[in-house]
Amino acid sequence: MEKQTDWHREQKRVNQVVVQIQEREKQLRQKLGTIKEDVIDIRKKFWDDVTVNFDNAEEAAETFASIKQQAELMSERERSHRHDLNQLKNLHKLKYSPYFGRIDFLEEGEEDSEAIYIGIASFVDKEGINFYVYDWRAPISSLYYDYGPGPGSYETPSGTISGEVEIKKQFIIKDSQIKHMFNTGITIGDELLQQVLGNESDSQMKNIVATIQKEQNQIIRNERGRLLVVQGVAGSGKTSAALQRVAYLLYRYRDTLLADEIVLFSPNPLFNSYISTVLPELGEENMQQTTFQAYLEHRLGENWQLEDPFSQMEFVLIEKQDPSYLARLEAIKIKSSLDYIHFIDSVIQSLQAEGLIFTDIVFRGNILFSNETIYQYFYELDQTISIPNRMNMVADRLLKEVRSYELEERDKEWVDQEVDLLEDEVLLKIHQKVEKEKKKESDDFYEYEREQELLRGLVVKRRLKKVRHIINQLQFLDTTSIYLNLFQEKENSLFSSEKWSEICSLTIHQINQSIFPYEDATPYLYLKGKLEGFHVNTTIKHVFIDEAQDYSPFQFAFIKNMFPRAKMTVLGDFNQSIYPHSNNSSFPALESLYQREDIEKYALTQSYRSTRQIIDFARHILGTEIDPFNRNGEKPVLTKAANWKELNTQLIARLMELCTKFRTVAVICKTAKESKRVYTELKDELDVRLMKKDSTGYESGILIIPSYLAKGVEFDAVVLYNVSDLEYLHDSERKLLYTICTRAMHSLDLMYVNRLSPLLSEVPPVTYLKS
């Protein structure tokens, strides 16, 4: 009875708030209509209100000022329009579901407690005094995530506020109706989480603001430290915490931080699209999103075709018979290490005194500046000046000489010939220019000579444009040869590896081919930056790196260098480090780049994605401890087939069954090559889609996807294709297997032919079913 009246009371409040929201919507719509009309009006009458007069400098300045004023007026109105539109969108969401939580808090020293309702955005009365709804990011809302009934406190810019949480409730409200209501304890109720996690997955990630856990809340709201490191088990909400943290920062620093000043590095384009709706759902704009590969490509420019990490991964997974396989694996490890940075730094040190390699600058087939001359110019300069500064000084000197050369060159015969070939429009333009000058000079003989002079000047200038570009871009520096020189010495005291000599030959061979190996791209750009100066990005204030276990120490150092003013949030799971360059030393290496007091570290140990049964199975692959959220499902199913044909028949039957139960079903293969083969075999039988490295999105249905592209993403049901000893034999593939299994939310199948992978030998038979 009490429960019913309580429910009734709460629903009554929802109704009241919704009425207020509707009222506000109405007012805002009216206001928007007026602003829109204003903008149209300003646009239409833009020139009516501007007096255009360029007769003299004073009039022109006045004209300019009045145009500026009109433009500012219009952009202010447009800004206001955008802001109100955003507010309208938020009101629309609030109307559907005004809030998800309530806490009654009695502040120390106060007589009465206040009921705080928490939703995705604030909603205040007209006077701006009473909050119907608090934004989940407001300081007081932290109580909801951090405490159950009992003593509690929260931080505000002016200090800590303590008191007593008297009541804590959670709601699921849809269509303005309370569907569920729970009184909860310390953690945000199991009941609500059960509801949320039991739902089917989507091709888009969802926000978790209603059920953020205490340890996740600490990560989201952390503002200390320049480096925030999160090590969290599979499915522990690292990506979720990262995205809600972006939303939090945008709210907390709304006057000084723009979404564009935050960049997120994600593992692949598919992941980018998977997470792209979370922030807009929360009423925020998306941050910049990129992959490290895209960033490298952008930096390397068009001259290089860069191998991508997925092709490198295919090589590592497939080409074990390749004669250079072990050398390349070793090369990848060495080139990812901080030792390699130190090695490059030591080489750069010696290049201060000698050894840089330059190329000739050629003009019309002749050497304009020989590499020896440039070398001499460079090393004539004081050695205490940094290499990039000296490089710019050389460029200035060369440009000056080009200018003198340009003047001399105008009288050459080739110039006359090219003048004859100039286009008519150019001739006309020069003619008009001279006519104008003539008027001023009132000189009748001036015309022909002057025209010729200008035309010759133009021809030479045009032809020298490329030379100037080469100089301005410092392209006379032969960074590729300097990089290759690192591999000329077959002995290297820094690397005891016996394979160093083999690595040297391999690298020289690879780089002389047209595709630049992935493992060399970052070191090459680092060297280039050290010689030419880094194009650092100082506008970015926060860098987020998700799936951070896939980054090498070298890459971390490089990113830190590129964004010198940014705070870093780095989230990963060393149990999912599947790339040959990533290992357990990446995070310590990253931390070594910061002062101890600048580092904040968190661990997430509870997994929310998969059912208890899936986690119980998967954790034995690595022998690791993971605390599963208590949600039950079927045990994973292991299916053995006598041959490939039978495997496919069983796979098709199982997929048909899974499709009736779930929205997203993934067949995860080890490699892209295998995925393609499976796709070819299934496509006539079932509606399946093949995911490739450049796939940018997916819909519900059956996907066939290579293991490394499924990183960071999740599916209702996963079928691991061919978990035989042929595919998963080596210890190095253990983490890959574990990563694949932990993509499943509700259902996991593993299929194989002949012999089962020995990597599953430690998994107790009670954790799975056989079919």
Binding residues: 232-239
Residue 57 is encoded by which pair of tokens? 């400098």
Neighbour count for residue 592 (Cβ, 10 Å) = 13
Answer yes or no whether residue 211 interacts with ligand ATP by CB under 6 A: yes
In the chain, the amino acid numbered 351 is L
Residue 314 is encoded by which pair of tokens? 């295919």
CB 719 within 8 A of CB 661: no
Answer yes or no whether residue 608 interacts with ligand ATP by CB under 6 A: yes
* Between 190 and 360, CB nearer to ligand ATP: 190
Binding residue for ligand ATP, selected from 141, 142, 216, 217, defined by CB under 6 A: 216
Burial class (CB in 10 A: 0-12, 13-18, 19+), 47: exposed
Residue 190 is encoded by which pair of tokens? 């199991």
* Between 232 and 517, CB nearer to ligand ATP: 232
Binding residue for ligand ATP, selected from 35, 50, 118, 208, defined by CB under 6 A: 208
Q: Which SS3 state, helix, strand or coil, does residue 36 take?
A: helix
Numbered residues of the known binding site for ATP: 232-239
CB 210 within 8 A of CB 584: no
Binding residue for ligand ATP, selected from 456, 542, 609, 619, defined by CB under 6 A: 609
Neighbour count for residue 603 (Cβ, 10 Å) = 11
Answer yes or no whether residue 240 interacts with ligand ATP by CB under 6 A: yes
Answer yes or no whether residue 169 interacts with ligand ATP by CB under 6 A: no
In degrees to the nearest 10, what's the CA dihedral of 649, 652, 658, 659?
-160
Give the binding range for ligand ATP (CB under 6 A) out of 8-16, 20-28, 212-220, 324-332.
Answer: 212-220
Binding residue for ligand ATP, selected from 101, 189, 237, 636, defined by CB under 6 A: 237
For 450-471, give one letter per residue: b (16+ CB within 10 A) or e: bbbebbbbbbbeebbeebbebb
- Compute the radius of gyration of the chain from its Cα atoms: 33
Answer yes or no whether residue 712 interacts with ligand ATP by CB under 6 A: yes
Binding residue for ligand ATP, selected from 232, 553, 628, 706, defined by CB under 6 A: 232
CB of 121 to ligand ATP, least distance (A): 19
Neighbour count for residue 443 (Cβ, 10 Å) = 11
Which residues 538-577 are close enough to bind ligand ATP by CB under 6 A?
A: 573, 576
Give the binding range for ligand ATP (CB under 6 A) out of 41-49, 101-109, 236-244, 508-516.
Answer: 236-244
3-class SS letters over 283-338? CCCCCEEECHHHHHHHHHCCCCEECCHHHHHHHHHHCCCCCCHHHHHHHHHHHHCH
CB of 243 to ligand ATP, least distance (A): 8
Please tell me the distance from the alpha carbon of residue 562 to that of residue 540, in angstroms, as a whole number: 10
- Give the single-character DSSP code of 577: -
* Between 238 and 619, CB nearer to ligand ATP: 238
CB of 545 to ligand ATP, least distance (A): 12
For 472-499, give one letter per residue: b (16+ CB within 10 A) or e: eebebbebbebbbbbbeeeebeebeeeb
CB 310 within 8 A of CB 708: yes
Binding residue for ligand ATP, selected from 239, 268, 337, 577, defined by CB under 6 A: 239
Answer yes or no whether residue 196 interacts with ligand ATP by CB under 6 A: yes
Please tell me the distance from the alpha carbon of residue 78 to that of residue 367, in angstroms, as a whole number: 56
Please tell me the distance from the alpha carbon of residue 94 to that of residue 81, in angstroms, as a whole number: 20
* Between 187 and 510, CB nearer to ligand ATP: 187
Binding residue for ligand ATP, selected from 742, 748, 750, 757, defined by CB under 6 A: 742
Please tell me the distance from the alpha carbon of residue 379 to that of residue 356, in angstroms, as a whole number: 9
Please tell me the distance from the alpha carbon of residue 469 to that of residue 445, in angstroms, as a whole number: 37
Q: Which residues contact 188 (CB under 8 A, 6 or more apart)?
A: 144, 145, 170, 210, 211, 212, 213
Instruction: Report the sign of the C-alpha dihedral through residues 58, 60, 66, 71, in that order.
Output: negative
Binding residue for ligand ATP, selected from 97, 142, 213, 268, defined by CB under 6 A: 213
Answer yes or no whether residue 716 interacts with ligand ATP by CB under 6 A: no
* Between 85 and 196, CB nearer to ligand ATP: 196
Using CB under 6 A, count the residues that bind ligand ATP: 24
Residue 60 dihedral angles phi and psi, to the nearest 5°? -60, -40
* Between 198 and 564, CB nearer to ligand ATP: 198
* Between 480 and 575, CB nearer to ligand ATP: 575
* Between 20 and 577, CB nearer to ligand ATP: 577
CB of 208 to ligand ATP, least distance (A): 4
Binding residue for ligand ATP, selected from 714, 716, 727, 733, defined by CB under 6 A: 714
CA–CA distance from 303 to each of 506, 577, 596 (Å)? 21, 31, 41
Answer yes or no whether residue 206 interacts with ligand ATP by CB under 6 A: yes
CB of 245 to ligand ATP, least distance (A): 11
Answer yes or no whether residue 628 interacts with ligand ATP by CB under 6 A: no
* Between 521 and 737, CB nearer to ligand ATP: 737
CB of 543 to ligand ATP, least distance (A): 17
Please tell me the distance from the alpha carbon of residue 393 to that of residue 385, in angstroms, as a whole number: 10
CB of 463 to ligand ATP, least distance (A): 55
Give the binding range for ligand ATP (CB under 6 A) out of 189-197, 289-297, 383-391, 536-544.
Answer: 189-197
Give the binding range for ligand ATP (CB under 6 A) out of 26-34, 211-219, 439-447, 478-486.
Answer: 211-219
Binding residue for ligand ATP, selected from 101, 189, 235, 628, defined by CB under 6 A: 235
CB of 715 to ligand ATP, least distance (A): 10
Residue with CB nearest ligand ATP? 237
Answer yes or no whether residue 268 interacts with ligand ATP by CB under 6 A: no
* Between 211 and 479, CB nearer to ligand ATP: 211
CB 380 within 8 A of CB 366: no
Question: How far from chain centre, in Å, is Cα 740?
Answer: 22
Residues that bind ligand ATP (CB under 6 A): 193, 196-197, 206, 208, 211-213, 216, 232, 234-240, 573, 576, 608-609, 712, 714, 742
